Structure 1
């Protein structure tokens, strides 16, 4: 198992995690020069195959060949393999927990969504732990931008067609929307409802406010 206590907290602005789900050149375009980059299993291979050197590559590496693992090791600042049997977390959660321990101002997770719905859903749930530590966190792919709020959020026009709201807690109360085609005022959403799906921004900015609960904000396009 990966021993998280090895990693002392350092001052880092953003940590970008690349996992093994859906990835593309769009993800590489998000990298800034001062970002700390983590590759999780096949996400590390994606990075080195596209000329990006991760600061850290980790995982059980069961999704790569021995030759590809050697390539990852040769092109990473550090590589941390872990036992594929004796571990309690997915590779993505290992990377996520390590990122949390470094206490960055922001975490962006790429490759968290894909064909394995169980992994995709578990990765969305990771947003909760970042929220509890007051770390801004987002999951991104080419069609979605997913965040979790407990108070308010301003949405900028990023060329996403829809903004959907889904409770992650049992209920979310006091939902007030401004700048949307379908406004809400002090509304309540209960988990399992689809009322918050596919809203549309009417301006370059829109604001979501809630009074209590945890609300997933999903910006998406087809």
Structure 2
């Protein structure tokens, strides 16, 4: 049965979520404190001066994971090109599933990272923030969307890098100016959503 272009590859999704969460947690230990962005850091003022720099580091992770979700299967397809079944399955993933899989993984990885702060809001947050739960939930959602966009950006960058090696039918959407326009559009949307979220988070943080 043919796979829809809107389908999500389950192994890719699980791997993408795991990689994003793992790398984010690793970054929390390897990144200097003032340059680490957490989903609760914008509620406090001590690292406000570094908010944009730390957010850039944070969003680089889903972008890297999205890149790898396309790049690694493509390289594996090249290595195992003697296997017709394996080649067909990976090609179908690259052509029809990789982009949506990466975006979905980015969104749900961000949701998983922020989940404790959403579910246990009354326990983990300062009492003065309790009445702002809905507003912060909206900010969280914007960050989730920005994670999704940057994961998609990683796939677009991988396509651009590999466009000369991709099979001809898979290059119809990564040719010439269209590829750059799609990459610019994705990065722009990711920057806009994360920028709006950070702006409103700063306003809400000052409300305390």
User: TM-score over 0.5 for the alignment?
Assistant: no
Q: Which has the higher helix share?
A: 2
TM-score scaled by length of structure 1? 0.26
TM-score scaled by length of structure 2? 0.28
Q: Which has the higher strand share?
A: 1
